[in-house]
Structure 1
């Protein structure tokens, strides 16, 4: 955090507050570079391995890149609506795309191990349901992020409510998903067979990666939900922005 706020345009003698602080440009650029490298690497492997189901992950990475680009721009023009909307919308919309890839990855690992029948929820329907939930989260977060740009107090409150609702739904979906993944992992460990027992097939690593990424997303959703619940005067907002 840097600079003295608040920042935002003045309309009819009233200031519309976009930022209570001046966004940190070096930090934003650093994230643009990091997400750019990771997204490019995954894009290359997507074509090499023909892993087309990873397309949502690429889209999520692009959202993060341009979201932080908007945040970097907001440092130079904190009173402009464009950078504010860009960073608000894309930084929130990126996560559902990333999550959709994780959902599809679990089904593919289970299919490769011929273990879909061990899940207490049909992975086929679970993937479709979660993709629909992700779409709903993207729409709700898009609406919730763009409404406050009007500067109206009612619009700001309504936008925050919509954003929090989308984050809570996403948090619930991720929580159920990680329980499903853990249950399936335990059930597969109880199975025997030359494929599962082979030291050359590192299927446990895939499950651990899926669960680790899901936990990170759960933590992120909790932090963002608490941030919006507390508002711009809250601890999380003041400490990390």
Structure 2
């Protein structure tokens, strides 16, 4: 009787080594830059975000290893790429949740938020962690060489992704609602020129939409099943996941949340002038 390993297919195509290496380099570089800024500015609430960048990097290292094993794939590298790239956006989301709470406190707009700021982070991060656990569990089960587990693993992943969509969708509605309400009833702090909260809200909205699109793609991908068109065509994972998550990381380099942290009296904020020197941000007194 043939061994069961000959019937197990990690991928419905031969993974591209070149594409995996490109995104290993991209994610590694941007994550190291984020790590540098994290340490330099002490923006500690961005630790989950940076961990997400390392998850993406290691995930694509696993994919590169798989690309060199085609068609006799080992389970280990497949599980690494499957689980880490699946759950990394949940870590990005955790830091984004925390940033919104800090922006609201900075402009003294607590009364304009539909979610009480004192437990906003706890509420959304709880949903994020639960989604994270479901997706990682499902990814581990799906990586099993036993085909009987495929349906269970897929269902758990889809459940985790739906949970992420629900919480993230509610978060995005709350963020948009807050910006609308403070636009109608501005606080004195929101009118201060030295508090550029609008550009931070814009980066938050852009990154949130990117993560939301990626999560919708992942839900459709897994609902189609292992033989579905999306899971059977490699280019989609790079367009609707890798590229979008890389853009999320770039967005927060362009508008770094350390400025919010500094204005709240925590850490430091630095700006680059001509790419040559760094100047510490000073709050007007």
Q: Which of 199, 202, 205 is residue 208 of structure 1 equivalent to? A: 202
The answer for the alignment partner of 1:154 in structure 2 is: 148
RMSD of aligned residue pairs (Cα, Å) = 1.6
The answer for the alignment partner of 2:159 in structure 1 is: 165
- Call closer, same or farther: CA 1:41–1:12 in 2, change over 3 Å: closer
- Whole-angstrom distance in 1 between the partners of 2:147 and 2:98: 40
- Call closer, same or farther: CA 1:22–1:220 in 2, change over 3 Å: same
The answer for the alignment partner of 1:138 in structure 2 is: 132
Could you tell me the TM-score, scaled by structure 2's length? 0.77
The secondary structure found in structure 2 opposite 1:17 is: coil
Q: CA deviation at 1:194?
A: 4.8
Q: CA deviation at 1:191?
A: 2.9
Q: CA deviation at 1:189?
A: 1.4
Q: Which of 78, 81, 101 is residue 107 of structure 1 equivalent to? A: 101
- Whole-angstrom distance in 2 between the partners of 1:50 and 1:71: 32
Higher relative contact order at CA 8 Å, sep ≥6: structure 1 or structure 2?
Answer: 2
- Call closer, same or farther: CA 1:235–1:13 in 2, change over 3 Å: closer
The answer for the alignment partner of 2:220 in structure 1 is: 226
Length, aligned pairs only: 232
- Whole-angstrom distance in 1 between the partners of 2:204 and 2:44: 18
- Call closer, same or farther: CA 1:193–1:119 in 2, change over 3 Å: closer
The answer for the alignment partner of 1:45 in structure 2 is: 37
- Call closer, same or farther: CA 1:12–1:223 in 2, change over 3 Å: closer
Could you tell me the TM-score, scaled by structure 1's length? 0.91
Q: Which has the higher helix share?
A: 1
- Give a deviation string over 1:17-66, Cα, whole Å, max 9, x none: 11111111111111111111111111111122111111000111110000
Unpaired runs of 5+ in structure 2?
238-285
- Whole-angstrom distance in 2 between the partners of 1:34 and 1:13: 33
The answer for the alignment partner of 1:6 in structure 2 is: none
The answer for the alignment partner of 1:117 in structure 2 is: 111
Q: Which of 26, 29, 33 is residue 25 of structure 2 equivalent to? A: 33
- Whole-angstrom distance in 1 between the partners of 2:206 and 2:187: 26
- Call closer, same or farther: CA 1:181–1:15 in 2, change over 3 Å: same
Q: Does residue 184 of the first structure (1) align with residue 178 of the second (2)?
A: yes
Q: CA deviation at 1:193?
A: 5.1
Q: Does residue 73 of the first structure (1) align with residue 65 of the second (2)?
A: yes
Q: Does residue 217 of the first structure (1) align with residue 211 of the second (2)?
A: yes
Contact 2:75 / 2:144 at 8 angstroms: preserved in 1? Answer: no
- Whole-angstrom distance in 1 between the partners of 2:135 and 2:199: 32
Q: CA deviation at 1:152?
A: 2.6
- Give a deviation string over 1:165-218, Cα, whole Å, max 9, x none: 000000111100000001111111123455322344321111111111111111
The secondary structure found in structure 2 opposite 1:141 is: helix
Unpaired runs of 5+ in structure 1?
1-9
* Greater shift in the superposed pair: 102-111 or 127-136: 127-136
